[in-house]
Amino acid sequence: MLSLTPRHLPPYGAGPLAKKPNYSFEKRKKEQDRKAKKDEKLARKRENAELRKTSDEDPDLAGIKLGPQDAEPEEGEQDEESDTPDE
């Protein structure tokens, strides 16, 4: 008997074939995303480390003088000598 339907087509009423998911593609994409995120994080860490190495001064201690401090009058206070008129 001679068949008139081609062999590569599904039989009548079967509908379209289900597509097989491509798990290896999805896995590779996830791995690439993880690697990109890791590389960005390492780059930020290197940049922060370089900034710390280049600055000789600790930002927490910036502007602090070591040793005895000069007594500076606070706002609203005046020296005793400036209150008396010149003679």
User: Residue 11 above 70 pLDDT?
Assistant: no
How wide is the angle at C-alpha 20 spanned by C-alphas 14 and 23, nearest 5°?
170
Please give the Cα distance from 78 to 83 (Å, whole number). Answer: 8
pTM: 0.40
pLDDT tens digits, residue range 46-83? 998 887 777 666 767 777 878 887 777 677 666 555 55
DSSP state of 8: T
